[in-house]
Amino acid sequence: MSYIINGYENKRVFEIFEDLCRIPHGSGNESGIADYVERFASGLGLECHRDKTGNVFIRKGASAGYENIPAVLLQGHMDMVCEKNAGVLHDFERDPLDLFVEDGLLGARGTSLGGDNGIAVAMMLALLETNSHPMLECLFTVEEETGLAGAKGFDCSLITAKRMINLDSEEENTVTAGCAGGVRTEISFNFDKVDLESAREAVEIKISGLAGGHSGADINSGRSNALVLLSRILQRAGEEQKVWLCSVFGGGKDNAIAREGSAVVLCEDAEKLRGDISDEAICIKRELCSLDAGFEVSFGTQSVTSCFRLKDTKRILGFMSLVKTGVLKFSNDIKGLVEYSRNLGIAETNGNKVRLTLSSRSSLESQIDLSCRELAALAALVKAKSKHYSRYPGWEFNPQSSLRDEYLNTYESLYGTRPEVVVIHAGLECGIISSKTEGLDIISIGPNMYDIHSPAERLDLRSCEKIWKVLETFLSRK
């Protein structure tokens, strides 16, 4: 087997990670990775459990001399967000990722990388091969990215450790000590379309070139949402003439900021519509952050035989325009921390049905309740149905943590600086696991990763080396 990553101390970690990248493992398709993890455990002669949800749990006894050191639970998820650029021919169900290294960063050509959270899986497996540690319990979960189903379905009574290190963070110089909870909401429109007497040429509008990103970690970065911008330009066009929506598509994951979107519409004057939309696009471009400098609106044509009625078009576009998205509230207690947000992640049309999927996050359960009520009320006003699902709890900050102190001290002893302790707006499985495991002391760590959940995702290899060194040193201390 040949590997492209060379020249780093933690060579074994990167070999395992490259192995994982050869195995398709989008959310709901983790069985190949789970098979790999099971074979790995079997090769080491370790206790291994695979549950009906698809999670894998491995236990390895303490090394000689470490029997009296408290056990540690290591945890990460096996699934990745599958995003690719328009025009990229990649089948996430079958194809291996096309990896490359540039300037010390690992990426995948045209697609997301899955460093979130494949690097955790690789580090956990590599640590199981070491022989200077207390008892290790390793939990590899499924479907984290689509609702944390793996953590929800796992029988936490198997866990005996009272210290847990989650490896699903993306900043080396921070230690995460709390996170937001969240819920997903589906808004569905089911309006009868009008059949046209004959096929007509409709205008196709496409938005592309936006940065996208994680709907939690990047929600306050100023990145624009393609679906929000799409509704804006269509509303502008509808002020000047009648516009009938035929279809709308965009986004790929509710927990990713939509990078691309498209709509097909009939109108009274196609040339004027293109002009009005182009004028609005110029205004939008002036407003965008530098990350979205590639923003572009393009036009095409499409033959259609039906469209939504004018009143139903206004209802669909009205919801997309009026729903509040992005940062809704910052924390009163922690400067700069997003407390409450919402993301419009997916739009898709299937015959007479239009479905929108949103993700709401907050560190306060009351605000998640509020978001559900707001979305249900707005949906009712435009004669749509709302469904809330995949709700998960937040992870409350604990001001006293011996595990956190030990990790901070280890990092500082190696590198001379002390990581910052943070609470994040993104969701982690820590909240679910802690709610089912009494007295669990938890931290979340990880190497530097950039633009996760997007084709621009990059993994910092030198940072991985440092995190590995901290983990290895931390676990080997007596």
Round to whole Å and give the CA distance between 115 and 472. Answer: 20
Place of tokens 């516009």: 243
280 labelled catalytic:
no
18 labelled catalytic:
no
Q: Of the listed 116, 144, 292, 457, which one is catalytic?
A: 144
Q: Report the phi/psi class of residue 231: left, alpha or beta, with left for phi > 0 and alpha for psi in -120 to 50.
A: alpha
Q: Of the listed 79, 83, 339, 465, which one is catalytic?
A: 79
Round to whole Å and give the CA distance between 316 and 144. Answer: 30
Q: What is the dihedral of CA 21, 150, 429, 393, to 10 degrees?
A: 150
Q: What is the dihedral of CA 21, 23, 24, 27, to 10 degrees?
A: -80
Residue 284 exposure: Cα atoms within 13 Å on the Cβ side: 26
Two tokens, residue 156: 């936490």
Strands (E), 51-162: 56-60, 72-77, 99-102, 105-108, 136-141
Residues 6+ apart with CB under 8 A from 267: 203, 237, 241, 242, 243, 244, 273
Round to whole Å and give the CA distance between 343 and 336. Answer: 19
3-class DSSP assignment, residue 253: coil
What residues are labeled active site?
A: 79, 144
